[in-house]
């Protein structure tokens, strides 16, 4: 076969297959940056929190002063990336996605009951992701508020210090469960994880997992 013949054969083969759909942009740079900075802060907060809370880890890590400073300052920084990401023109997609996370369709509610899941049509986010986002947002604010009461306890009634510690501890437990669950689900679906790493997901993934969003984006 000459080189020219080979080329012709290859381009014929290309024509025979339908062109592959290009990948879809799921998260833009701002959303990805907010996500990963938040992830880092959460990681630091959870690990330093564990070191402050659990005796055996405290003994292992030591440096309680440094650990506490890391925990407090990471906590104070926590709202910054989201607030910076959500404002201005660059935050348009993030704002839209926050709106999507907020709104639940009838199908979303049905999705949680396994038996009713057949025939459910989802949008860009599945209800588990929506619930996770709402929980992390609410728990984040509670942690910030109760952490502040614990840090500046002199300004508050004695019972508030106990109550804030109480709420901080139990919400921390919830956050640990939610974050571990979030990571497990993410690593089980490589395409979804790629969406947060590189920004795009295969069109076929979107058609399967987020059909309404896929329809939205069809030219």
Which residues would be at the binding site for another protein (CB under 8 A)?
25, 28-29, 52-55, 58-59, 64-65, 68, 92-93, 96-97, 99-105, 108-109, 123-124, 130-131, 133-135, 137-139, 141-142, 145-146, 149, 158-167, 169-171, 173, 198-200, 216-217, 219
Kindly state the tokens that stand for 59: 């003994």
Distance CA 95, CA 112 (A): 25
Q: Torsion over CA of 130, 131, 132 and 133, rounded to 10 degrees? A: 50
CB of 87 to another protein, least distance (A): 17
Whole-number Å distance between alpha carbons of 40 and 140: 14
Of 44 and 139, nearer to another protein (C-beta) is 139
Closest approach of Cβ 184 to another protein, in Å?
19
The least distance separating another protein from the CB of residue 115, rounded to whole angstroms, comes to 21
- Confirm if 31 and 93 have CB atoms less than 8 A apart: yes
Closer by beta carbon to another protein, 26 or else 81: 26
> Is the Cβ of residue 52 or residue 84 nearer to another protein in the bound state?
52
Residue whose CB is less far from another protein, 16 or 117: 117
Burial 131-168 (b: 16+ CB within 10 A, else e): bbbebbeebbebbeebbbbbeeeeeeeeeebeebeebb
For the bound state, the minimum distance from the C-beta of residue 93 to another protein, rounded and expressed in Å, comes to 6
């Amino acid at each position: 076969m000459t080189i020219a013949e080979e080329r012709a054969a290859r381009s014929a083969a290309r024509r025979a297959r339908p062109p592959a759909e290009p990948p879809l942009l799921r998260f833009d740079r701002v959303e990805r940056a907010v996500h990963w900075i938040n992830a880092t802060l959460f990681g630091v907060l959870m690990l330093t929190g564990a070191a402050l809370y659990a005796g055996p880890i405290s003994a292992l890590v030591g440096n309680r002063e440094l650990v506490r400073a890391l925990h407090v300052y990471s906590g104070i920084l926590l709202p910054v990336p989201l607030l910076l990401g959500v404002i201005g023109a660059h935050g348009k997609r993030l704002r839209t996605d926050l709106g999507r996370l907020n709104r639940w369709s009838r199908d979303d509610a049905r999705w949680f009951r396994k038996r009713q899941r057949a025939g459910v049509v989802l949008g860009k986010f599945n209800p588990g992701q929506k619930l996770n986002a709402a929980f992390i947002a609410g728990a984040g604010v509670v942690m910030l508020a109760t952490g502040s009461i614990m840090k500046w306890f002199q300004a508050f009634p004695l019972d508030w210090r106990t109550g804030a510690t109480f709420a901080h501890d139990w919400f921390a437990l919830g956050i640990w469960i939610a974050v571990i669950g979030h990571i497990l689900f993410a690593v089980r679906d490589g395409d979804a994880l790629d969406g947060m790493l590189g920004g795009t997901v295969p069109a076929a993934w979107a058609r399967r997992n987020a059909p309404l969003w896929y329809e939205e984006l069809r030219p």
